[in-house]
Amino acid sequence: MTKPFIAGNWKMNTDSRSSVSLAEAVAARTTGLAGRQVDVALCPPFVYLGPVFRAVGNSSIAVGAQDVYFQPDGAFTGEVSVSMLKDMGCTYALCGHSERRHVIGESDELVNKKVTAAVSGGLLPILCVGELIEQRKAGRTTEVVTGQVKNGFAGLSAEKALAVTMAYEPVWAIGTGLTATPQQAQEVHALIRELIGRIYDSRLADEIRILYGGSAKPGNAAALMQEQDIDGLLVGGASLKADDFIDIIKAAV
Ligand code: PGA
């Protein structure tokens, strides 16, 4: 059994005050739990990474970025590098979140470059995959997720792949209140684990954590976490409320 992992993706929400108070509340109310029984990460907007890192202080809450660019430095206006994120205290970075793929237009190839750059620079990527509703309805979930996983890991050695956390986030469940049933999620998680086993080996497949994301909330967290291949949750909306996020953390242990 791997240690459960709960990550909060704040997306483009909070401000300088609320980001700090939310981080402080989560840190203060999960002592003894976070880092010991469950790994917890907060992914605030870039501009609040510094304040949130200071707010979590020496608690065991990790800080992650919502995105990262693959180039080390230079003329890439608006982008943020791996070393900048490390410098601000980040442990993780989301790569290929569905909003980056489908709203901003990131390709599998770009996502792979981000994952590769993150791992090489010592930042732990959380590689997000998931199908659109039309793709699910057309029976293409396996094909879509398989492509995203294979392309996401392309060129990564087994040693580097071990640094990756996977997140299965069916796009139709994100921010919609429509959660995948635990069985629907489990099916795709099992597929992802099998794929990793085929690309690398079964030991690596067993060790890599696979999070579920998409309208995770206190009311469904425990049931989702009970599934064999669900090792944690990537929480959007419910991570913006300290009470809800803390309840989800507690439901994971
Ligand atoms: P949600 O978002 O929990 O609000 O559905 C999850 C995510 O996009 O990571």
Q: How confident is the model at residue 178 (pLDDT cuts 50, 70, 90)?
A: confident
Whether the pLDDT of residue 1 is over 80: the answer is no
pLDDT, mean of residues 68-87: 98
Closest by CA to 192, choosing from 145, 224, 228, 153, is 145
Helix 16-28 / helix 242-251 crossing angle, nearest 10 deg: 30
Report pLDDT digits (tens) over 198-241.
Answer: 999 999 999 999 999 999 999 999 999 999 999 999 999 999 99
Q: What is the pLDDT of residues 101-125, one digit of tens each?
A: 999 999 999 999 999 999 999 999 9
Task: Using the predicted structure, report yes or no on whether residue 150 has a pLDDT greater than 90.
Answer: yes
Cβ-contact 182, 227 below 8 angstroms? yes
Decide whether any atom of ligand 1 lies within 6 Å of the 178 Cβ: no
- In angstroms, what is the span from residue 75 Cα to ligand 1's centroid? 32
Percent of the chain with pLDDT over 90: 97
Binding site membership of 216 for ligand 1 (Cβ less than 6 Å)? yes
Q: Look up residue 227 and give its two tokens.
A: 């599934």
In which element (H, E) is residue 168 found? strand 165-168
Cβ neighbours of 180 (radius 10 Å): 25
Question: Is 237 touching ligand 1 by the criterion CB < 6 Å?
Answer: yes
Q: How far apart are the first and last CA of the chain?
A: 12
